[in-house]
Amino acid sequence: MTADPGFSRRRFFELAGLTSLGGVLVACGAQSSGDEPGRVGYAPPIEQLPRVTIDDAVLLRTMTSMEYLMLDLYQWIKDQGAVDEQSTALIDRFVEDHQAAADELARQTTDVGGEPYECANDWYTQRILPGIEAAVTGDEATGTPPTEDPATDLMRISYGFETMMSSAYQKVIELAEAPELRPTLATLGAQDARHSAAVAMHVTGTPEGYVNPVVLGAEETPDETAAVALFAIPASFGSLAATEITIGAPNAEGTQAGFPIDTPADNSYVYNDQTCPA
């Protein structure tokens, strides 16, 4: 009997391989249920992450932690001993406002059945502040030199964080379920917007620091030091985007370090089972 020239040994192994693969796919399909994808091999089952609830207590606890973050930040700024008397007066007023805001948010947390969280947000403390502080004071470990103008950079940090706080309150207003919380949140957000406006006019000057030229259709140009000005009204509408803080000693190209500061999100919320770090 003559062998079929269209069926070779190589063709046999190709068909055998496809048959085996089909068996694996069928077996995987038989083991899956519902909409779950099939699994190949003997990997351990996927461990589901715990589900957390983002309720009004979580939002209030988070914003309380951000207020304490601001208090710690301003204490650090004052400890540098670089800001002038007028800047110190602004900071002292801001500290009073942030402490009052923290106290009010703690009371609101209790009212909604939560436990107040009266310490700085650990996520920002561990991940955001170290790089910013190093840009001002320098860091031998990373080869970061200290800033050439600490007084200006410290106030730029104040402006950036106050702007971020105003945006954070704007975001939380939209997320809060209880309507009675919104007036307090709106008031605190507007207060932080006034803080950043005061810093902008103090650093940039008046009327130069009032309105970003981009809002009026013109171009924004750096000053003689190549630094971008700060503005009381930075844009046409309130933004939830990250706030960029540009500080530090210029590099070889004359560019300073930029630090984008985002508003709190899922990874930096203070959930109801969290307690202040020891």
Which domains are seen in the chain, by residue range? 56-261 (1.20.1260.10)
Whether residue 91 is predicted with pLDDT greater than 80 in this model: the reply is: yes
pLDDT at position 162 over 90: yes
Q: Average per-residue pLDDT in the chain?
A: 86
Q: How confident is the model at residue 48, as a pLDDT? A: 67
Phi and psi at 82, nearest 5°, equal: -110, -15
pTM: 0.79
Identify the band that residue 110 occupies on the pLDDT scale cut at 50, 70 and 90. Answer: very high
Q: What is the pLDDT of residue 210?
A: 80
**For residues 187-206, average pLDDT:** 95
How would residue 224 be classed by pLDDT, with cut points 50, 70 and 90?
A: low
180 pLDDT higher than 50? yes
Section 163-182 average pLDDT:
96
**Which pLDDT score is estimated for 11?**
56
Q: Which residues contact 147 (CB under 8 A, 6 or more apart)?
A: 135, 136, 138, 153, 247, 248, 249
Residues 153, 142: Cα–Cα separation, whole Å: 19
> Distance between the two ends of the chain, CA-based, in angstroms?
86
Is the model's pLDDT at 49 over the cut of 90? no
In our burial notation (b when 16+ CB lie closer than 10 A, e otherwise), range 235-271 reads eeeeeeeebebbbbbeeeeeebbebebbbbeeebbbb
Q: What pLDDT does 26 receive?
A: 45
pLDDT band at 9 (very low <50, low <70, confident <90, very high): low
Beta bridge partners of 244: 260
